[in-house]
């Protein structure tokens, strides 16, 4: 047999999958033949198979560098279900358990070993690796090596030692998020300059992107969850620990099964909440960005942001945790000018070098452009990663196209108000001046006597809020956090004030309602009434099986596999092998139980 046919055989018999997707087959063969690779593939695109199958094809053990203990444990649990000899080596193991794992590695009894980067680079671990036969090194979440990236991990910088100590062992670095500059930094820092680069599409067509103006964020979030994701798993990101705890408590009081997660919580409580999210259905985690990287839960149906992320990379990485199973999912965000003020403050007050601050500001500007665009969100998002695309029909701007309007006159009034008030005030005060509000604060500063006082009476307060926000996004004004969020003019504003340039802005449009039929899980899988009932029985069986084995439910069989079973209703063991996700080991382990459920289900079998 050829290497390619061997890989196909493992894919079918071990992993229960009918065919490789995209560049997977090419990557697998390249690595199995001893080549180095840098792989950029979206979350849910099947990165793990790109090193798992070559590890089974090559002699020795595949060493996987992974930054999170939870991710290692979940992947090892899933591989064990498939009959693959996998183990972890991290700080949770006792000294005796760690020695036993090291001995198994040296004896060649493991197919894959997952190791934390800080453990791998210790002299002891490197010595053990030199005494073992190594099939390959896989560096997962490779963007962590980028010092100016959104998720830098200092311990990743030491991984260049692998190239020096094991020059004959192929290496593969994988990430879902990297712009061209970050790709170059990964290759340079990991010594992969000669590696073959595989770049898959960054598109996640099953995700619906929605960005709304932040008005009453908690109420907006609650309406979104109740309308589209009642009793479904999701992640809500907040910037501060305090906001995480307050939001989780508020959602719980409103009947949502919400749990907080941030680095300040007791380790045992964090572990409990993560475990519940992984193993139970319908849990919503409210978290800082301390939660999520490497989370392998495929049925997260939504990711929501109550605060602006730091960059498009961060936004893409975080939203990519939704819909890993390929079924419809939502990425929802509420943002306002206060978010911009807060992010500017964090950048300017950091101890980072000026170069870092400049790059961070540019990344924030790119994100603001995504938030304020009147065009397809997906086109703008993919464009950032260097990928051309056409309108997707599955983001808020495509589903409910916003109007654009000639905002030149409004922009001139707003910019004049900024100038006439001394460039010392924020959007709320400036709006009061423009609308001619007779407030104590306006009178105290004498702004009721200015020529701009009341010139915007005929324009709604919410419209003015959008004007000031978009002036910042367009680079016509900037936020000075040292002056408590005061807006100031930029060099670009001069041309608008003098009438040399016109300004177009978007009108705010509410996200379209009634999309539950698009995102509801059972409808998304194309099931009829009997199929939905059967799916619920299969999920109940899976949940009980997962509890007995103390593993996440999706490790047993994922939602796509259960839905295919419910849709096609196979009646014989050989028919089960035609279901995606059921290989030889899972057929042996679960075939009888599945057939019992399927054969007694009412309705027409295929």
pLDDT exceeds 50 at position 513: no
pLDDT exceeds 60 at position 523: no
**Contact present, 42 and 176 (Cβ < 8 Å):** yes
- Residue 368: pLDDT band with limits 50, 70, 90: confident
Q: What pLDDT is attached to residue 96? A: 92
Q: What are phi and psi of 113, to 5 degrees?
A: -130, 125
Q: What are phi and psi of 198, to 5 degrees?
A: -115, 115
How is residue 331 written in tokens? 């990425």
Task: Please enumerate in sequence order all residues whose Cβ is within 8 A of that of 198, keeping only pairs 6 or more positions apart, or say none.
Answer: 23, 26, 27, 37, 38, 39, 40, 41
- Residue 481: pLDDT band with limits 50, 70, 90: low
How is residue 295 written in tokens? 């989370």
Q: Is 349 exposed, middle or buried (0-12, 13-18, 19+ CB in 10 A)?
A: exposed
Q: What gap in Å lies between CA 242 and CA 239, rounded to an integer?
A: 9
Q: What pLDDT is attached to residue 347? A: 83
Element (H, E) at 370: helix 354-372
Q: How many helices (H) and strands (E) does the chain have?
A: 29, 17
Q: What pLDDT is attached to residue 515? A: 45
Task: Please enumerate in sequence order all residues whose Cβ is within 8 A of that of 13, keeping only pairs 6 or more positions apart, or say none.
Answer: 583, 584
Q: What gap in Å lies between CA 289 and CA 532, rounded to an integer?
A: 35
pLDDT exceeds 50 at position 291: yes
* Residue 545 neighbours by CB distance under 10 Å: 17
**Contact present, 507 and 372 (Cβ < 8 Å):** no
Tell me which DSSP letter residue 116 carries. -
Q: What gap in Å lies between CA 452 and CA 433, rounded to an integer?
A: 7
DSSP, residue by residue, 481-537: GGGTSEEEE-TTHHHHHTTSS--EEEPP-PPPS--HHHH-HHHHTT--HHHHHHHHH
Q: What are phi and psi of 522, to 5 degrees?
A: -65, -40
**Tens-place pLDDT, residues 197-231:** 998 888 889 999 999 989 899 999 999 999 999 98
The structural domains of the chain, ordered by start, are: 3-199 (3.40.50.300), 214-360+376-399 (3.40.50.300), 404-506 (1.10.10.10), 525-600 (1.10.150.80)
Q: What pLDDT is attached to residue 508? A: 60
Task: Please enumerate in sequence order all residues whose Cβ is within 8 A of that of 292, keeping only pairs 6 or more positions apart, or say none.
Answer: 235, 237, 317, 318, 321
Task: Please enumerate in sequence order all residues whose Cβ is within 8 A of that of 540, keeping only pairs 6 or more positions apart, or say none.
Answer: none
How is residue 124 written in tokens? 């002891």
CA angle 159, 162, 163 (to 5 degrees): 115
Element (H, E) at 50: helix 49-57
**Tens-place pLDDT, residues 412-425:** 999 999 999 999 99
pLDDT exceeds 70 at position 483: no
**Tens-place pLDDT, residues 21-41:** 889 999 999 999 999 999 998
Q: What pLDDT is attached to residue 150? A: 54
Helix 3-13 vs helix 24-32: angle between axes, to the nearest 10 degrees? 120
**Tens-place pLDDT, residues 445-467:** 999 999 999 999 999 888 898 89
**Contact present, 270 and 313 (Cβ < 8 Å):** no
Residue of 385, 361, 421, 433 lying closest to 183 (CA atoms) = 385
Q: What pLDDT is attached to residue 75? A: 87
Q: Is 19 exposed, middle or buried (0-12, 13-18, 19+ CB in 10 A)?
A: exposed
Half-sphere exposure of 170 (CA within 13 A, CB side): 26
How is residue 444 written in tokens? 């105290």
**Tens-place pLDDT, residues 317-358:** 899 889 888 888 999 999 988 888 888 888 888 887 877 777
Q: Enumerate the H helices of 229-336 as residue ranges.
A: 241-253, 267-279, 312-319
Q: What is the arithmetic mean of pLDDT over 540-551?
A: 89
DSSP, residue by residue, 201-260: ----TTEEEEEEE-SSHHHHHHHHHHHH-TT--EEEE-SSHHHHHHHHHHHHHTT--EEE
């Amino acid at each position: 047999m050829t290497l390619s046919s061997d890989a196909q055989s493992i894919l079918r018999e071990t992993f229960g999958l009918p065919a490789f997707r995209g560049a997977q087959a090419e990557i697998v063969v390249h690595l199995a033949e001893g080549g180095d690779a840098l792989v950029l593939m979206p979350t849910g695109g099947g990165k793990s198979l790109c090193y798992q199958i070559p590890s089974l094809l090559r002699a020795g053990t595949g060493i996987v560098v992974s930054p999170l203990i939870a991710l290692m444990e979940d992947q090892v649990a899933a591989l064990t279900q498939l009959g693959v000899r996998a183990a972890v080596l991290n700080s949770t193991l006792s000294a005796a358990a760690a020695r036993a794992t090291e001995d198994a590695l040296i004896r060649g009894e493991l197919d894959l070993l997952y190791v934390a980067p800080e453990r791998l680079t210790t002299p002891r671990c490197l010595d053990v690796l030199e005494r073992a036969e190594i099939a390959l090194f896989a560096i997962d979440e490779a963007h962590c090596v980028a010092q100016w990236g959104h998720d830098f991990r200092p311990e990743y910088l030491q991984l260049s030692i692998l190239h020096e100590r094991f020059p004959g062992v192929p290496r593969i670095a994988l990430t879902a998020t990297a712009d061209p500059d970050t790709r170059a930094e990964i290759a340079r820092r990991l010594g992969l300059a000669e590696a073959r680069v595989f770049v898959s599409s960054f598109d996640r067509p099953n995700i619906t992107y929605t960005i709304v103006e932040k008005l009453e964020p908690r109420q907006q979030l609650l309406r979104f969850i109740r309308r589209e994701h009642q009793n479904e798993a999701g992640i809500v990101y907040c910037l501060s620990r305090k906001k995480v705890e307050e939001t989780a408590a508020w959602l719980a009081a409103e009947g949502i099964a919400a749990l907080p997660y941030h680095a300040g919580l007791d380790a045992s409580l964090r572990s409990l909440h993560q475990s519940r999210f992984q193993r139970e259905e319908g849990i919503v985690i409210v978290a800082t960005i301390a939660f999520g990287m490497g989370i392998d839960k495929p049925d997260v149906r939504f990711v929501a942001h109550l605060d602006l992320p730091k960059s498009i990379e961060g936004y893409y990485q975080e939203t990519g945790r939704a819909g890993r199973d390929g079924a419809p999912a939502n990425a929802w965000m509420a943002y306002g000018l206060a978010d911009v003020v807060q992010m500017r403050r964090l950048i300017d007050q950091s101890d980072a070098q000026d170069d870092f601050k400049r790059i961070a500001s540019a990344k924030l500007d790119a994100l603001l452009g995504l938030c304020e665009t009147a065009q397809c969100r997906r086109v703008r998002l993919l464009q950032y990663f260097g990928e051309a695309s056409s309108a997707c029909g599955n983001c808020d701007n495509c589903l409910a196209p916003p109007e654009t309007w000639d905002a030149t006159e409004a922009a001139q009034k707003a910019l004049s108000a900024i100038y006439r008030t001394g460039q010392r005030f924020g959007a709320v005060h400036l709006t009061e001046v423009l609308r001619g509000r007779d407030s104590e604060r306006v009178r105290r500063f004498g702004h009721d006597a200015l020529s701009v006082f009341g010139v915007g009476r005929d324009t709604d307060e919410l419209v003015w809020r959008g004007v000031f926000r978009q002036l910042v996004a367009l680079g016509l004004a900037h936020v000075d956090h040292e002056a408590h969020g005061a807006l100031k003019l930029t060099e670009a504003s001069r041309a608008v004030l003098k009438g040399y340039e016109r300004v177009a802005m978007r009108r705010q449009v509410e996200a379209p309602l009634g999309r539950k039929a698009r995102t509801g899980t059972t409808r998304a899988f194309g099931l009829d009434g009997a199929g939905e009932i059967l799916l619920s029985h299969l999920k109940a069986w899976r949940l009980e099986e997962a509890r007995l084995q103390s593993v996440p439910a999706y490790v047993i069989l994922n939602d796509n596999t259960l839905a295919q079973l419910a849709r096609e209703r196979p009646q014989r063991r050989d028919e089960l092998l035609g279901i995606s996700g059921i290989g030889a080991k899972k057929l042996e382990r679960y075939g009888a139980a599945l057939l019992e459920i399927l054969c007694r289900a009412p309705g027409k079998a295929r």
